[in-house]
A and B are shown apart, each in its own frame.
Chain A
Amino acid sequence: MRTDTADVDRLATPPAFQHLSLGRKLKNNLATTLFAAAFVLAVIPLLWVLFTLLQRGLTPLLSADWWSHSFYGLLPNDFGGGIYHALVGTLMQGLVTAVIAVPLGVMVGIYLIEYGRESRLARVATFMVDILSGLPSIVAGLFIYALWITTFGLTRSGFAVALALLLLMLPVVVRVTETMLLIVPDELREASYALGVSKWKTIVRIVLPTALSGILTGVMLGLARVLGETAPLLILVGYASSINFNLFQGEMASLPLTIFMERSTGTAAGDARMWGAALTLVVVIMLINLLATLLSKMVAVKTK
C-alpha cells in the first residue's frame, strides 16, 4: 500500500514542470514591478494636479458671489469677485461649437461608414480627419484669424473662438460616430431595407438611434476637451472682466482666458482668482464628463 501511494506521488509531482531558474524568476519579477511602477508614476501627476487645484483654488469657490458675480470693477489687489462672466463665455462658446460640430461631424461619419466605404474620397477624408485631430490648437486659431478677421474683415469675437474650437471638436465627433456606426449590426440595416424603407430613413430612424448613446458620450467628451483650450482664445477674442452675452461683438471672457489673464496680474488676489478659475474649469469639465456617462446610460438602447 505504502509503495503504491509513493509511486503515484512520484509520477504526479516532480518531472511535470521544471523549476524556474533564479535568473528568470528575478527578471520576471523585475519586469512586473517596473510595469506596475510605470502606471503608478502616471497616476502621481494626476493626483498632484488635482491636489494643487483643491488646495489653492477651493476657497473662492465656496462663496456664493463666485457663481453670481463677475470681476467687473475689481482692482488687481482686491480679493473677491466671481467667475460668472467666464462661465457664461465658456458655455456659450461651447454651445455654439457643439451646435455646428455635431451635425457636421455626424454627417461626415455617416458618409465614411454608410456611403463612401472604400471610395477614394472616403480614404482621403479619413486621412484628413486624422490630420485634423493632430492639428495644434494655435494653428486652428491662426487659420480662423486669417480667414475670419484678415480676409472677411470681421472683428475678434466669441463666435470666432467657437469656429476655431469647431476645428478641434470635429475630428472627435467624426471618430466617435464612425466607431459607433460600425458597431450597428448590418442585419438591422438589411431588415429595414427589406421592409422597403429608403436608405436615408434607415440611417436616420434605425442606425442613428442605435448608435445614439455612444455618439452622445463622444460628443460630450469632445466638448469637455475643447472647452479647456486656451491658445485660440488668446488670438481670437479680447478678455472682458464683465459679462457679455453677445457672441458676435465685443470682448468676452471664458474660463481658460481668465486663468491666463489673472496670472499676469502678479498679485496675491489675482493668484487666488487664477487658481479658483482653474478649479472651476476642471469642475465644469468633470461635470460634462459625468453628464456624458449619465446620458449614455439613459439613451442606451435596451438590449433585453
Chain B
Amino acid sequence: MTDSTRAETRPAGTGEDTGAPRGVSAPSPGPEATISAPETTADAPGISSGKKVVRIGDRVFSSIATGSGAFVVVLIAAIGIFLLIRAVPALQVNQESFLFSGVWDTRNPSSLHFGVLYLAWITVASSLVALILAMPISCGIALFLTQYAPRNLARPFAYIVDLLAAVPSVIYGLWGFLVLAPVLKPIAMWMNTNLGFIPLFADGNSDTLISGGNVFTAGVVLAVMIIPTITGVSREVFQRTPTSHIEGALALGATRWEVVRTTVWPFGRNGFIGGSMLGLGRALGETMALTIILSATFDAPRYSIFDAGATFASKIALGSGEFNNNLQVGAYISAGLVLFIITFAVNALARWIESASGKGKE
C-alpha cells in the first residue's frame, strides 16, 4: 500500500487548493501528476492487466454505495413485509370485519374486535379540513414570496414559513388543544347553529363543541402544520415560470395579478397540486398533534366535523399501553399497515404529478 499512499497524498493537496473550481491552479501540478499515473497503476498489481486499471478501493467503495442504494429499496419493502407478517395472525382471529366495522376492542387477546371504519373517517375528515384551509393560504404565500415580496426579503420570509415545520407536532398538539381550541369555539358554535342543517356541521358524536377535541380543531392545526410543505413545493414551481412569459405579459400591459393569472398559475398549477398531495400525505400520517387534540370516544361517528374519535396514527399511539401480546399488537399493526398503504399511494401520486408537470411544460 506504500505506492498508493504516495499517490494519494499529492492529489489530496490539490483538492484542498482547488476546493473552488479554479481552472488556473489545475495545470500547475498537472505534469507531476502524469508522472504519478503509472504509480497508481501499480496500485492493484494482481487485478490490473494491460491498460484497464481496476482499483480495489474503487470496487469496495462503489459496492458500498450501490449497497446503500439497494438498502433503501429493501427497507421500504421490509416495512411492508414485516407489518404484513405481524398483522396477519391478528386479522385471522379478528371477530369484526376489518374494513367495514368501526368497533375497536382489543383488551381481551382471546377475542379481538377491531375494524378501521371510524378511524378512516376521522383520518380522512381531519386531513381534508386541513387541505381545504391550507391550499389557498399556501398558494397565496407561494405567490407572494415569488412574485410580490421584495427580492432581498423573499428569502428570510420563506425561512420564516419554513420555521413552522420546525415546531414539533407534540407542541402543536398542546397549543392546539389548550390555546387554539378555546379561540375556535365561537366559530365552531356559529357554524353549528347556522349551518347545523347540513350533516357535516351538525352535532358530533360527543360533547366536543365545548372541549374543542373535534375534527375541526384538529384540521385547523393540521393546516398550520402542512402549510410549509405545500408552500415549499409551490414556491419552487412558481419560481420556475419562464421569465420570457412574465416579461411578455408585462410588455403587453398586464398588471401583476394578470401576470400571475395568465403565466405563473397555468405553469405552476400541477406542481401546486402535487405539493398539496404531499401535504395531504403528511396530514394523514400526523400522530401526536391529533393524539392530544382529539377526544376519545367509543361512539360511532355521525360524520360531522364536530366528531371525536381517533385517526389511524393516534389510535396506534394511544394503544401503546396495550402492547404486551403479539396478537394485540397485531391489531394495531394492521391499522398501521392500512396507514402505510394509504400514505404510500398518496405520496407516490404526489411525486408522479410533480414530475409529470415538470416534463410537460418544456
Contact = CB atoms under 8 A, between A and B. Distances in A.
Bind each other? yes
Interface of A: 17-18, 20, 24-25, 27-28, 30-32, 34-39, 41-43, 45-46, 48-49, 52-53, 104, 107-108, 110-112, 114-116, 121-122, 124-125, 127-132, 134-140, 142-143, 145-147, 150-151, 167, 170, 174, 185, 187-188, 191-192, 194-206, 209-210, 224-225, 227-231, 234-235, 256, 259-260, 263, 274-275, 278, 281-282, 285-286, 289, 301-304
A136 B285 contact: yes
Interface residues of B, number: 114
Given A49-B167, A107-B68, A198-B40, A142 B332 contact: yes
Contacts of B316: 138, 142, 231, 235
Contact of B11 (A122, A201, A303): A201
Contacts of A301: 19-20
Shortest Cβ-Cβ A-B pairs, 5 listed: A136-B285, A228-B168, A38-B140, A200-B61, A196-B37
B278 interface: yes
Contact of B72 (A20, A53, A108): A108
A42 B227 CA distance: 8
Contacts of A205: 8, 11-12, 15
Given A235-B317, A260-B288, A282-B167, A146 B140 contact: no
Instruction: State the main secondary structure of chain A at its contact with B.
Output: helix
Interface in B9-65: 10-12, 14-16, 18-21, 23, 26, 29-30, 33-34, 36-37, 40, 43, 55, 57-58, 60-62, 64-65
Contacts of B161: 39, 42-43
B313 to A, nearest CB: 4
Given A130-B351, A135-B343, A302-B19, A32 B256 contact: yes
A147 B346 CA distance: 25
A267 to B, nearest CB: 15
Contacts of B23: 187
Interface in B264-313: 278, 281-282, 284-288, 291-292, 312-313
A114 B255 contact: no
Contacts of B21: 185, 187-188
A194 B141 contact: no
Instruction: State the main secondary structure of chain B at its contact with A.
Output: helix
Given A194-B30, A230-B170, 14 more contacts: A39-B157, A39-B161, A49-B167, A107-B65, A111-B65, A111-B66, A116-B69, A132-B72, A134-B346, A196-B40, A199-B58, A234-B320, A256-B168, A263-B174
Contacts of B64: 107
27 contacts: A24-B255, A31-B256, A35-B141, A42-B164, A43-B160, A45-B164, A46-B160, A49-B175, A53-B171, A108-B65, A124-B73, A131-B348, A134-B282, A135-B285, A136-B285, A139-B340, A142-B83, A142-B333, A192-B14, A192-B15, A205-B12, A206-B15, A224-B166, A230-B288, A260-B170, A278-B171, A286-B166
B75 A128 contact: yes
A147 B33 CA distance: 51
- Residue from the set A17, A199, A224 with the largest chain B CB neighbour count within 10 Å: A199
Contacts of A122: 69
A180 to B, nearest CB: 14
B72 A125 contact: yes
